Structure 1
Amino acid sequence: MEDLRPLLTATAHVLWWKEMWPQDNRLLAAGHDDSGEAFMETGILIRWGAPRQGREKESLDLFQKSVDYYRGLVEDGKLGYFEPFMLGSGDSEIETGFFIIKGEVTQVFELLDDQQHRDLMAQGSVLVEHYRFDMLAVGDSIKRWLGDYKRGLSAVGV
């Protein structure tokens, strides 16, 4: 029998989000799989700054371990997209690089509950400065977000 705990945990995260912010659909974007079935898509942005002093080697090892892990999830069909980016300009003390991760909402919320992902996040917060995690509005949810913003402008008379 299939273990339904990851799906139930992901569903619980979605239900919690909808309960906390019932009008906020910005994180969810409609998409379609190969069969034409509709699904919801969301994303994660993980950013970091310079390595903490004395932790440079460990931070490079963590970067490679993270890239291998997230790419493996894409290859296994557990995420839809992963890409690492390094910034070529700006204040590298504050922001050196970032990862963009996308997938069906259930895939992304399963990732948030995954122990290996949580371990990587905890290690990142120890090894690098300015380690941040943000949820992303992607796809059709951007149009929804802009519509919400326009209604907000109208509501306050702008």
Structure 2
Amino acid sequence: MSEAGVWVSWGIPARGRESQALALLKSSLTTYLEQLSADGRIERFDAAILRPQTTELGGFILIQGTHDQIEALRTDQGFQTWATQIQLVADKVGIVDAWVGDGLSEAYALYEDALKELG
């Protein structure tokens, strides 16, 4: 089971880049991320496009794998290029490391240690 992840979120497409943003999203899901999964470089990914609403969050992808897989992915040139492409076509891009699945116990322990130190 996965223990680490990367959460990639984006806002609305940059003005004038709407078509490029949609094309990048489609190719990300049908080519890039599926290939990472097929090659065993990640365990899985989930994507969501959010319905129109009042916040500026347009959607997100949660990429999951082992610590080693995610660490290797974060330093991979292909991933860095992909992340830069997202930043070029969408506003409010966020890329955040996450604990998932079996890694949640690590997050719990960190929070418990921090709470103990605070008293």
Fold match (TM-score > 0.5): yes
RMSD: 1.9
Q: Is the 8 A contact 2:3 2:104 kept in 1?
A: no
2:68 aligned partner = 106
1:73 aligned partner = 36
By how many angstroms is 1:155 displaced?
3.0
The count of corresponding residues between Structure 1 and Structure 2 is 118
The unaligned stretches of length 5 or more in structure 2 are: none
Q: Which has the higher contact order (CA 8 A, sep 6+)?
A: 2
2:85 aligned partner = 123
By how many angstroms is 1:54 displaced?
0.5
By how many angstroms is 1:59 displaced?
0.5
**Cα 1:155–1:70, aligned 2, differ >3 Å: closer, same or farther?**
same
Q: Give yes or no for the alignment of 1:91 onto 2:91.
A: no
2:114 aligned partner = 152
State, as a whole percentage, how many aligned pairs show the same letter. 27
For 2:41 and 2:106, how far apart are their aligned partners in 1?
26
Residues 40-59 of structure 1 aligned to structure 2 (within 5 Å) = 41-59=3-21
When normalised by structure 1's length, the TM-score is: 0.66
Residue of 26, 29, 32 corresponding to 1:64: 26
